[in-house]
Amino acid sequence: MAKEKKIATPWNVSRRATAKVKNPLPAPTKCNCCASEAIEIVENSKVYNGRSYGKYPWIYLCGDCGAYVGLHPFTNIPLGTLANEEMRKARKDSKFYFTPLYASGDMDRNEAYERLAKKLGISKSECHFAWFDVEMCAKAADACIQIANEVSKRPKVEESKPKGIMAQAFQKLGLA
């Protein structure tokens, strides 16, 4: 007997998908960027020029500053903390330093996260770029450069100095 399928939405979540999310963050009720409480779930077309993206196009959006974050598919669990433009850029930039650690084949992705978490002094379960603010992104990028340089097979990456917002964050932390 075929069961009737219902389409999961943030208001009618898949219990199975929800149970699979490790270390779920609570739904945001206050914006971590501007402290506003005007957080709502909307379709991502609201921030992507009117077009929806992905199979589960929902986001938590701050109605005041416009910071947002996606949801784990078929749940109402946020992927991370809300991010404004600066944070989105920093997260993307710091991942640029992280991805080569495992893409190079020197270690797998799991080990790369383990090493990064250790350098940052946090547990691996908290080590998600989507959870990081700009300062943490800068620390993560710096840690990734250190890890890359520790792996003897790899060439030194001193010449790939951070630019833009990441460079400013580095400077602020005294890492540059």
| Contact residues: Zn ion, CB under 5 A | 31, 33-34, 36, 62, 64-65, 67
Among 96, 81, 94, 90, CA closest to 130: 81
In whole angstroms, the minimum distance from the beta carbon of 20 to Zn ion comes to 29
Q: Which is nearer to Zn ion, 31 or 79 (CB)?
A: 31
Residue 58 CA to chain centroid, in angstroms?
16
In whole angstroms, the minimum distance from the beta carbon of 30 to Zn ion comes to 9
Q: Which is nearer to Zn ion, 106 or 133 (CB)?
A: 133
Q: Is 88 exposed, middle or buried (0-12, 13-18, 19+ CB in 10 A)?
A: middle
In whole angstroms, the minimum distance from the beta carbon of 59 to Zn ion comes to 13
Task: Yes or no: say if 7 and 1 are a contact pair by the CB < 8 Å rule.
Answer: no
In whole angstroms, the minimum distance from the beta carbon of 28 to Zn ion comes to 10
Beta bridge partners of 60: 41, 69
3-class secondary-structure state, position 165 = helix
Q: Which is nearer to Zn ion, 40 or 150 (CB)?
A: 40
Q: Which is nearer to Zn ion, 67 or 134 (CB)?
A: 67
- How far is Cα 4 from Cα 50, in angstroms, rounded to an integer? 31
- How far is Cα 137 from Cα 130, in angstroms, rounded to an integer? 10
Among 112, 168, 158, 116, CA closest to 138: 168
In whole angstroms, the minimum distance from the beta carbon of 41 to Zn ion comes to 15
Q: Which is nearer to Zn ion, 66 or 100 (CB)?
A: 66
